[in-house]
Structure 1
Amino acid sequence: MFTFLVRRLASAAAVLLASTFVFFMLVDFATDPLEDLRTSSQINRDQLMEQRTRLLNLDTPPVLRYLIWLRGLLGFLWGDGTMGESWRTNREVTDLLAGAVGVTLRLVVVATFLAMITGITVGIASALRQYTGFDYSITFASFLLYSLPTFWIAVLLKQWGAIGFNDFLRDPTIGTGGLIGISVVAGLVWSALVAGDLRRRLITFAAAGAATAVTLWFVSSTGWFLNPSLGPVLIAVTGVAIAFAVTVLSTGLRNRRALYSALTVVGIGTALWYPLQFVFPYATFWLIVGLLLVSLGVAALVGWAFGGPDRGQSMRTAGLTAVGVAVLIFADRVMQVWRIYSDYSDNRPIATLGAATPGLNGDFWVETLDQYTHLILPTTSLLLISFASYTRYARGSLLEVLNQDYIRTARAKGLTERTVVMRHAFRNALIPLATIIPLDIAAILSGAVITERIFGWTGMGNLFITSLNGDDPYPVMGFFLVTGTVAVLANLVADLVYAGLDPRIRVNA
């Protein structure tokens, strides 16, 4: 393993060295930092040109200029150098990158994580319902979303997801027609997802439609949109649903000890809802992280105490349930400041531009809600496109695995379908995705240029476009260095993930 890592890191360094040299030459050929001064009518134009020439070493051949930049980069890595300076902003490239990377990471992490979870889940469900109405619908929706232009999706989200919803909040009442339409769609989706014979589909359709209608009527009649909250009752009910869902996927409902562990965690989380309200006013980022770690520790102890034939299964089930309950409690506390935040935003809480509200003066929860409202539109824009690709990859990969001989053998041995899919098929179906996901993260980290421009985010994509259009070479080189390094490391991570998913694969082979 050590030899493999050293060999791959050495090859990665060689690739980066060669690629940065080629890219430096291309940037030097494509940009002219003196272009604005050549057409300037300023009296001291010659002095300004000479000053910028000295700053960027423009009187030096490009190859030597690259070596100077490389020497500064190596010095920066050792703590005694620089990656260059932007002549447009008079700021170090490292400062520009630090701000841009932070903004892009906030957008990329949320969008990629949600796309992975939803895309893989829906893709697996589509594969298990092959050639059904649900499968055809997901296939059509995936190809439609994948083919839509990013800017068009972003504009529609601005119009209907922000402007339209903010207008709806003036009088958040759902009419009878809208209530019936949404309920019918929800019933059709759930009946297609659950599958089964006609009788089972009709029962599912009726139950899902009725539940949706009652929920929409409740939130509309009580003005829930103006002052949303979950409360301990809804947290408990949703937590029980999460406990059953996690148990079904993790161990199966036959493992009663795992199910009781998950339900016990739901009970503990619901009981702690009220005491936590006295802790949350002093919340910080690290306090929330600490509480999450404590909840995982308590869940592990609960799973270990219930034991069973495999304590690890009970602990895993309880831990995943604890994460779900913790998210519900956190979301409930964020919702409690919705009214305060609406006053800050002039009763138009869904933002259309920027990563944060300028001059916002609120506590931890108000600032957290502000970040989430600014994330909604750009995250949804990236999510819809990535969701389509993940769905298709997950479906195709699982269908290929399900046709293998060892899957037929597992079924012939009498194993349950859940065991066959989750333990034998799902893990091997993730191997192709292990290549796509790291590279996709590296690609998105380079900046969702169109999305950032439309929603006014100053991330990596915006930094690249602005610097390139402004003939500012060193920020462009800094952008390429960051994205190139991430891409190379993503390939290394993919190789290591292969070995974790399939023991037959040896990374040092």
Structure 2
Amino acid sequence: MLQFILRRIAISTLIMFLGSVLMYVLTINSADPLQDLRESRAENRDQLIQARIDNMGLNDPWWERYLGWLTGVSKCFVLQCDLGATRDGANVNNLLVASAGASLRLVTLATFLAIFIGVALGVLSAIRQYSGFDYVITFAAFVFFSLPSFWAAVLLKDFGAIKFNNWIADPAISTTAIAVIAAVFAVTVASVLGGALRRQLLTALVAFVVVFGLVFWFDRIDWWLQPALGLPLILLGSLLGLAFMLVMTVGLAHRKVMYAGLVTVGLGLVSYFVTGPILEDPSWLIIIALTVVTVLVALAVGWVMGGYERRVASIVTVGTALSMGFLIFMDKLLRGWAGFLDMAPSGRPVGTIGQNRIIPERFEGDFWEGIFNWGIQLVLPTIVLTLISIATYSRYTRGSMLETINQDYIRTARSKGLSDRVVFTKHALRNALIPITTIVAFDFASLLGGAVITETIFGWRGLGAMFRLGLDTVDPNPVMAYYLVAGGAAVLMNMFADIAYAFLDPRIRR
């Protein structure tokens, strides 16, 4: 096994080296780095040209310039990286740290959302193979997979930023639009829950009435300008979260586990009032501390009340407590929307470019308004990256789940009389998710290196902007810094996936 790991490390190092040579040569020969100065009419044009030649070492052979860059990179092994400077004298190390932080914030959120949504859709699609829901998910997956990111980004920029800002100035939804929204939601819920035709029609009718009534009521009270969940919706959402946890574990018939979940919901209602003053203007440290306390209390409730199913009861109570805590968090966050709207420039909260609408040093809002100021610009580019990745996760999960369901041990589990819930969640799903772990590694690396177009359209100052800056100015140092992160992530993730599979399957070592 050690030889296999060392061999993979050596191959990965060789690939990174050869790729860096190719990238460096292509970059310095892509255009003329002096083009802008040659067209200049400045009196000191010749002096500026000579200064840039000296600064970038344009008179040196390409291999000598590359070795200089490689020498600086080799110092990273002793934590003293020297990635050089841009042609204007900016330190590439500082530029890379700032750009990588912005890209990671965007890519990490998109990856987690894509994994959660894509895997869930893939599992449901496999369970309901050849149903209407399966056909819709399959069609949507192929559409999203082939979706040009630049086209989707431009559309979202137009409808999600420009037109939304126009609408939020005087928000109103027509009765027809409310009916369409309710109908789409009703069809979605009915197709996901499945069942006989009569049951699906009843589910769709109930969902339509509930959603139509809620949206109609929200529109009449100007909820869009001063949103909040309120205690009734928090309680309803918590009970739905408890029902979901029960269905995914022991079912609704296990009384002790269900009572433990209900006690957890009751304690959550008490905490809603107790933590109210604390959550008026908290900090992230307080939020993390409250989350830890929530988990510990939920574990205690599940352990004490679970009886012989203490482990399962603890899982149910923790899941219920976290879902209720999330709803309380969202309630407080939504209440900060009105204050953020008052501070937004010209009442237009969603910017079409940039990462922050208000400079943090000049921001005077509270904690909740600060989250909107920090994260509102994440929404649109995250949607673009998430949609494309959801298609991949859903298709791979569906295929892997279908292959697992048809295995002999699944048929044996069914022959023992186990319910579909137990067969799918405890037997099929765990094994079906093993191949997905490899896709997660590859997808994260590809998103990190492939967000150039999305970042450019939304004015996101991340790795994509740094890469484009290097190409536009024919400056290899920013381009090579981008290569170190994007290429390094792809190679490392590939190597880790091979090593992980070698641990899982010894045949791969040969």
Structure-2-length-normalised TM-score: 0.92
User: Which residue, 385, 395, 398 being the options, matches 1:395?
Assistant: 398
Specify the alignment match of 2:412 in structure 1: 409
What is the CA–CA distance in structure 1 between the aligned matches of 2:174 and 2:440, rounded to whole Å?
42
Note the C-alpha offset of 1:271.
Answer: 1.5
Note the C-alpha offset of 1:10.
Answer: 4.3
Specify the alignment match of 1:375 in structure 2: 378
Specify the alignment match of 1:78 in structure 2: 78
What is the CA–CA distance in structure 1 between the aligned matches of 2:52 and 2:149, rounded to whole Å?
38
User: What RMSD in Å do the two structures reach over aligned CA positions?
Assistant: 2.4
What is the CA–CA distance in structure 2 between the aligned matches of 1:328 and 1:352, rounded to whole Å?
29
What is the CA–CA distance in structure 1 between the aligned matches of 2:328 and 2:442, rounded to whole Å?
34
Aligned residues of 1:236 and 1:267 also touching (Cα < 8 A): no
Distance 1:251 1:222, change over 3 A: same
What is the CA–CA distance in structure 2 between the aligned matches of 1:33 and 1:319, rounded to whole Å?
59
Aligned residues of 1:150 and 1:451 also touching (Cα < 8 A): yes
Specify the alignment match of 1:289 in structure 2: 288
Q: Is 2:216 aligned against 1:217?
A: yes
What is the CA–CA distance in structure 2 between the aligned matches of 1:505 and 1:198, rounded to whole Å?
48
Specify the alignment match of 2:63 in structure 1: 63
Note the C-alpha offset of 1:153.
Answer: 1.8
Superposed, 1:10-89 pairs within 5 Å as: 10-88=10-88
SS of 1:91's equivalent in the other structure is coil
Aligned residues of 1:166 and 1:349 also touching (Cα < 8 A): yes
Specify the alignment match of 1:324 in structure 2: 323
Distance 1:307 1:273, change over 3 A: same
Structure 1: stretches of 5+ with no match in the other structure: none
What is the CA–CA distance in structure 2 between the aligned matches of 1:386 and 1:418, rounded to whole Å?
27
Distance 1:488 1:287, change over 3 A: farther
How far does the alpha carbon of each residue in 1:60-94 deviate from its partner, in whole angstroms, 9 at most, with x for none? 32222222212211224424451111113x21111
Distance 1:490 1:298, change over 3 A: farther
Structure 1 stretch 136-145 or stretch 156-165: which is displaced more? Answer: 156-165
SS of 1:225's equivalent in the other structure is coil
Specify the alignment match of 1:420 in structure 2: 423
Distance 1:403 1:227, change over 3 A: same
Distance 1:207 1:141, change over 3 A: same
Distance 1:159 1:66, change over 3 A: closer
Specify the alignment match of 2:437 in structure 1: 434
Aligned residues of 2:74 and 2:81 also touching (Cα < 8 A): yes
Q: How many residues align?
A: 506
Note the C-alpha offset of 1:147.
Answer: 2.6
Q: Is 2:265 aligned against 1:271?
A: no
Aligned residues of 2:152 and 2:384 also touching (Cα < 8 A): yes
Specify the alignment match of 1:443 in structure 2: 446
The percent identity for this pair of structures is 40
Q: Is 2:461 aligned against 1:462?
A: no
How far does the alpha carbon of each residue in 1:338-383 deviate from its partner, in whole angstroms, 9 at most, with x for none? 1111111233323322211133432322121123321221111222
Distance 1:97 1:420, change over 3 A: same
Aligned residues of 1:243 and 1:321 also touching (Cα < 8 A): yes
Note the C-alpha offset of 1:310.
Answer: 4.4
Structure 1 stretch 463-472 or stretch 341-350: which is displaced more? Answer: 341-350
Structure 1 stretch 13-22 or stretch 463-472: which is displaced more? Answer: 13-22
What is the CA–CA distance in structure 1 between the aligned matches of 2:502 and 2:327, rounded to whole Å?
35
How far does the alpha carbon of each residue in 1:103-131 deviate from its partner, in whole angstroms, 9 at most, with x for none? 11121111111111111111211111111
Structure 2: stretches of 5+ with no match in the other structure: none
Partner AA of 2:53 in structure 1: T
Aligned residues of 2:281 and 2:366 also touching (Cα < 8 A): no
Q: Is 2:492 aligned against 1:489?
A: yes
Note the C-alpha offset of 1:498.
Answer: 4.7
Structure-1-length-normalised TM-score: 0.92
Note the C-alpha offset of 1:272.
Answer: 1.2
Superposed, 1:59-458 pairs within 5 Å as: 59-88=59-88, 90-345=89-344, 346-359=346-359, 360-458=363-461
What is the CA–CA distance in structure 2 between the aligned matches of 1:9 and 1:273, rounded to whole Å?
52
How far does the alpha carbon of each residue in 1:401-420 deviate from its partner, in whole angstroms, 9 at most, with x for none? 21122211111121111111
